[in-house]
Amino acid sequence: MASGTLTIWGAYTSSFGMHARFQGLTLIFLKVTGLPAQVSEGSHGQVVRPGYYAVRVTIAGLPKRTRYVLRGHSSHEFNEYFTFMGQMLREVKDPDVTVEVFRRGADNAEIAVSSATLPLESFKDKRKDTHRAIELPGGVTVHCAVKWSGLKDAGHSLMFATCTISRASAAAAAASALGDAKTERAGLGGSKKAEEEPQEDEQADEYKDDDDDEEDEEDEEELHRWREEDDANLKRAKPSALQVLLRAMDGEDDDDERRNPRRQRRLTAESAASTDTAQMELRLAEDRDRVRQLETRLLDAEETICHLKAEKLDAWRRIERLSRQRSASSDTDADASTDLSTLKIHNRVHELQAQLAELTTQHAVELEERMAVIREQEREVLDWKRQLEEAHEQIADLAARNEELQRRLALATTASTRTEESIAVLEEAPLSSASSTDFEWREELVRHPTPPFDLDSPEVQYILFSWTPNLRKVQYLRSWLTQVAASSNQALPAEFPLGVELPRLPPEIRDGFLTLVVPLLRQQTHREIHVHTRQYNDQFHTDLRQTHREIHVHTRQYNDQFHTDLRVRAVPR
């Protein structure tokens, strides 16, 4: 068994005289560290519930209360509080504390390891620390160190008993001796204060009998005060008797903790180290079990693979043997029937090839005939399309000629009625009117913004048809505008006119050409566009018409003060 530490903190209270019936409160505080967990294995190697060490404490003369401090199932340190309600500890004859250390196996059976009986009566009335070593069976030694609180009040005594359980070995003995030395130094630190005042202790012993009555009164007051505090605690949170006693011991425990800080740190470090060691051992045991299981599974899998490979090889050998037997038995029959079947197959192949050649020739002839019919139909369709286009052109020419004849007829009918009046007006007109007929071309220098559309837009079409209803003129002017507005840098044809002139435009048509059409022409960068306009200053003009090589002079009165001639020229850059 590895070394472990069992710490027993005993606090007991006594009273005498009229308060002999007072039920004392005894608290035993156990702290066990360093007892390792035991791992049990079944008969077949399987891991069962791990065993653990346990400590049982029994106080003689008091109602039997048994507690266990377990170690092994968890990596934490277990602290158990033992509360004994009964008669005073000092009133019990030969009060002893029996400590039993045993181990519980996988079947929950107790296996005794060692035990010790600590007579607390021998430690009473001693102001200095006492150290004892108790040898147990199995080479286990219990080292006990008793430390008193140093209080002068005999009615309330506090004792700390530390027991170290270890197996007799060189390393364990050295560690135990070192721990006892440190404990002794820590205990001596608390006893120095008692040695510094020996006179006060002796005087307190001499007048002890005289002060019994005063102590009884103080005990009675303290009893009432404890009962009131207990009632208040029950009303608030109902704490346990252990918590009440611990609160009363806080002041004394603080003094002891301040005296032994290094010992507390050492015990804390040892406890943490033992906890970590137990955790590592448990994890290592679990990992080993897991590795053992995985190795077992791996061996089973490899064995299965070997069996399967052997069965596969045996099956392949059987297949080869059967195939050889089958080939040997069928060779004789196959040789006899091979020639006849081969001849039949060759004859069938020749027949199929002849049928295929015949079908191919027939299909080619039919395809050629169909292609000839399709070509003839295509020629007829092209002829019909050409005739249709010619008919459309003739219709357009006839429509234009009809419009021209209607316009000439209307002009001829109106001119005959106004001829005499026009001649009279020309004769009466003063000579100064001749100078007024002179008008000059003026270049339009105003640059209008480019509209967000092109020459094929409905706006441009509206302007062209407002200028003239003649479809051929509109088509000619549109083609000229499109050719000039082209963005490519190709040279214009030699016979292409570089300018057009639009006479007698109303103000709205003129503004439409200047603000919409001309900016679209100037959008390209390869040609410069020059625009000139002139406005009429008189009200009478003479139209000169030629009909069938005969010159006829017709006069017509215009209100041309609102009409403008427009000339557009395109000059290459």
Give the pLDDT of the chain (573 residues) as one tens digit per residue: 334 444 433 333 333 232 223 233 333 334 344 444 434 444 444 444 444 555 566 655 555 444 444 333 333 333 333 333 333 344 444 556 666 666 655 555 666 666 666 665 554 554 444 556 666 555 556 555 545 444 444 443 444 445 454 444 434 444 444 454 444 444 444 444 444 444 444 444 444 445 555 555 655 565 566 566 656 654 554 444 445 445 555 544 555 555 567 777 777 888 888 888 888 888 899 999 999 999 999 999 998 999 899 999 999 999 999 988 888 877 776 776 777 888 889 899 999 999 999 999 999 999 999 999 999 999 999 999 999 999 999 999 999 989 888 888 887 777 555 544 444 444 444 444 444 444 688 999 889 999 999 999 999 999 999 999 999 999 999 999 998 888 777 777 778 888 899 988 888 999 999 999 999 999 888 888 999 998 865 444 444 444 433 444 444 444 445 678 888 888 887
Q: Is residue 365 situated within a structural domain?
A: yes
Which of 392, 411, 431 is at the close of a domain? Answer: 431
- Return d(Cα 505, Cα 510) in angstroms, integer: 6
Pairing of strands 564-572, 52-59: unpaired
Of how many residues is the chain composed?
Answer: 573
CB crowding 273-292: b at 16 or more within 10 Å, else e: ebbeebeeebeeeeeeeeee
- Is 114 part of any domain? yes
| 75 and 123 in a common domain | yes
Tell me whether residue 278 is in a domain.
no
Long-range contacts of residues 389-398, Cβ cutoff 8 Å, at least 24 apart: 396/471, 396/472
User: Within this chain, do residues 398 and 528 fall inside the same structural domain, yes or no?
Assistant: no
Among 238, 262, 286, the domain-final residue is 262
Q: What is the pTM of this model?
A: 0.26
Looking at the structure, do residues 422 and 481 belong to the same domain, yes or no? no
What is residue 463's predicted lDDT score, i.e. its pLDDT? Answer: 93
User: What is the predicted pLDDT for the residue at 298?
Assistant: 92
Helices and strands, counts by H and E, the chain: 11, 15
Separation CA 543–CA 414 (nearest Å)? 13
288 within domain boundaries: no
Distances (CA, A) of 8 to 174, 192, 286: 22, 23, 34
Do 463 and 488 share a structural domain?
yes
In a domain, 471, yes or no: yes
Domain stops at, among 400, 431, 462:
431
- Does residue 449 share a domain with residue 425? no
In 386-484, at which residue ranges do the beta strands (DSSP E only) sit?
A: 442-443
Q: Are residues 132 and 93 in the same domain?
A: yes
Query: Is residue 303 exposed (0-12), middle (13-18) or buried (19+ Cβ within 10 Å)?
Result: exposed
Q: Measure the CA–CA gap between 40 and 109, rounded to whole angstroms.
A: 12
Give domain status of residue 139, yes or no.
yes
Do 258 and 156 lie in a common domain? yes
Question: Rounded distance, CA 44 to CA 51, Å?
Answer: 18
Nearest to 23 by CA among 212, 222, 213, 223: 223
Q: Which domain holds residue 132?
A: 4-193+215-262
Token pair recorded at residue 6: 């069992």
Q: Do 362 and 425 sit in the same domain of this protein?
A: yes
pLDDT at 254: 52
In a domain, 327, yes or no: no
Do 129 and 234 belong to one domain?
Answer: yes
Q: With residue 299 as reference, give the H or E element that holds it.
A: helix 261-428
Same domain assignment for residues 480 and 419: no
The answer to whether residues 472 and 415 belong to one domain is no
Number of domain units in the chain? 3
Kindly state whether residues 467 and 412 are assigned to the same domain.
Answer: no
Look at residue 347 and tell me if it is in a domain: yes
Whole-angstrom distance, CA of residue 227 vs CA of residue 371:
128
